[in-house]
Structure 1
Amino acid sequence: MEDWTIGMILILVICGFLAGFIDSVVGGGGLIAIPALLAAGIPLHLLLGSNKLAGTLCSLTSTASFVRSGKINMKLARKLIPLSVIGAAAGTLTVRQVPSEFLKPMVIVMLIVITIYTLFKKSWGDVSTFSAKSSTLRLAGLAAALLIGFYDGFFGPGTGSFLIFAFLMMGFEFVTAAGNAKILNLASNVTSLLTFIALGSVSYTYGLMLGIPMVIGAIVGSRLAIRKGAAYIRPLFIAVTVLLIGKQIWDTIH
């Protein structure tokens, strides 16, 4: 058992709530959660697995909120979840063998494109135009679930942004796009977490100390998103994507 101080606990509780609040809707909670775990003194070999434990609890909570509100296309999600799981498992195993740092410049460019596209499409995501009968959209969804699931297991930053963008491109409005993204993100999180557990790379103490306040933040954040709709999710989506761009640029430079 680690020697906990009041300061360490406060860091994890406050940062956990903020991370859960943001992550519950558009992802990006790792921007806050990972530095919080480092500040609390977690051993580096347990960092990613413990963060994944906390993130999985957060994803489970926010997904439940979206399911209860009917803001997830469950028929589509049931088809995409297995591919997200396969992709995440493959990505998590691959990152043990291949360094993921080479992806950073590519991720920066993709996040910049997403941000610019969303900024200029003012009314994008206000109304759903998704058609379940479109074979092209179904194939695009299957490919996105597999590739983004792999990316989540292999590297991770921006997964929520990429998933929401994929569902917006398929014609969903912002709230349902966020809900669909959360259930796929939950599937890939669970898969990655189980892989980290099997590899002995999870601290349950750190993970739960961060995860419990993340759950509370997720409850507040997801309910607010469902109530406020696109007017709330759109600016949060843009803000988190811009922060992710800045974080990746900073990491690349340093």
Structure 2
Amino acid sequence: MEFLDAGTMVFLLFFGFMAAFIDSVVGGGGLISVPALLWTGLPPVLALGTNKCAAVMGSFTSFVTFVRSGRVDGSLMRSLFPLSFLGSALGVFAVQLMPAEILRPLVVVMLIAVLLYSIFKRDWGRENHYTGLSQRMLLLAGLVSFGLGFYDGFFGPGAGSFMLFGLLMAGFDFLGAAANARTLNFASNISAVIFFGYLGLINFSYAVPMGLAMIAGAYCGASMALKKGVGYVRPLFILMTTILIGKLVWDLI
């Protein structure tokens, strides 16, 4: 591991904390952490691997915090966790073979649809209507978890937001959806770290300090979400989705 200068260290700590704080609640933390790592001069694929290594520390922290709160549906997550893990592993291998740019236009369209639905359906996600899934819906949820896991390992931005959106569609309120989405996101993150590490695509000198800051950010973000409730999560979800759309459109232009 190389030694970092003080300026780079402070830079990684600050943006790591901010990324994990946001990500622990509504996803979209990669919108902050990946550009920060690219700004330091890391090549794109190495930045993705390094980001996943740091992010898994934060996602584990928020995952544990939400599990302790009782907001995670253990039965549902036992079915979906392995699928998100497997999808992410395949995504890591695919990212070396395909240009990530081919996904960006589709992602922008999907995020705009999610945003508009969230804004105009004002009472959506305020109450928990989840009572379980039929066999058909469970199969669909499995395919979505696998697909979003693949996307998270392959590209990443918006994966947590899409996971949260899918759980809202299943009937969870915003807080319950956030808790279970963090569980699926933890699965895809830890899978990506294992395989990025296997391929030698992680810079641990950058990942470790950023990851430590992400632990603190994730704990603060998840704790605040549990204290503030649905009224806090919904506007933050809308705000981060809007920013994420703007960033991806800017990249396309």
User: Which interval holds the TM-score relative to the shorter structure?
Assistant: over 0.9
Asked if the contact 2:4/2:205 (under 8 Å) is kept, the reply is: no
Please name the residue that 1:116 is paired with: 116
* 1:100 aligned partner, one-letter code: A
Instruction: Confirm or deny that 1:52 pairs with 2:34.
Output: no
Counting aligned pairs with the same residue, the percent is 47
Please name the residue that 2:148 is paired with: 148
Please name the residue that 1:92 is paired with: 92
Asked if the contact 2:3/2:205 (under 8 Å) is kept, the reply is: no
Structure 2: distance between partners of 1:6 and 1:128: 46
How well do the aligned residues superpose, as a CA RMSD in angstroms? 1.3
Q: Deviations over 1:32-60 (max 9, x none)?
A: 11222233343545211110001111100
Moved more, 11-20 or 72-81: 11-20
**Counterparts in 2 of 1:109 and 1:231: CA distance versus 1, 3 Å:** same
Instruction: Confirm or deny that 1:215 pairs with 2:235.
Output: no
Q: Deviations over 1:18-75 (max 9, x none)?
A: 1110011111111111222233343545211110001111100000000000011010
Aligned residue pair count? 253
Structure 2: distance between partners of 1:185 and 1:16: 17
Q: Deviations over 1:219-254 (max 9, x none)?
A: 00000001111101101111111111011111111x
TM-score, normalised by the number of residues in structure 2: 0.96
Instruction: Confirm or deny that 1:179 pairs with 2:188.
Output: no
Q: Deviations over 1:140-190 (max 9, x none)?
A: 211211111111112211001100000000001111101110111111111
* 2:115 aligned partner, one-letter code: T
Name structure 2 gaps, 5 residues minimum: none
Moved more, 137-146 or 222-231: 137-146
Structure 2: distance between partners of 1:71 and 1:3: 40
Asked if the contact 1:12/1:40 (under 8 Å) is kept, the reply is: no
Instruction: Confirm or deny that 1:16 pairs with 2:11.
Output: no
TM-score, normalised by the number of residues in structure 1: 0.96
Structure 1: distance between partners of 2:210 and 2:201: 16
Asked if the contact 1:174/1:234 (under 8 Å) is kept, the reply is: yes
Asked if the contact 1:8/1:39 (under 8 Å) is kept, the reply is: no
Please name the residue that 1:7 is paired with: 7
**Counterparts in 2 of 1:99 and 1:40: CA distance versus 1, 3 Å:** closer
Name structure 1 gaps, 5 residues minimum: none
Please name the residue that 2:243 is paired with: 243
Deviation beyond 6 Å, 4+ runs, structure 1:
none
Residue 137 of structure 1 and its aligned partner are, at CA, apart by 2.7
Q: How does 1:63-82 map to 2 (within 5 A)?
A: 63-82=63-82
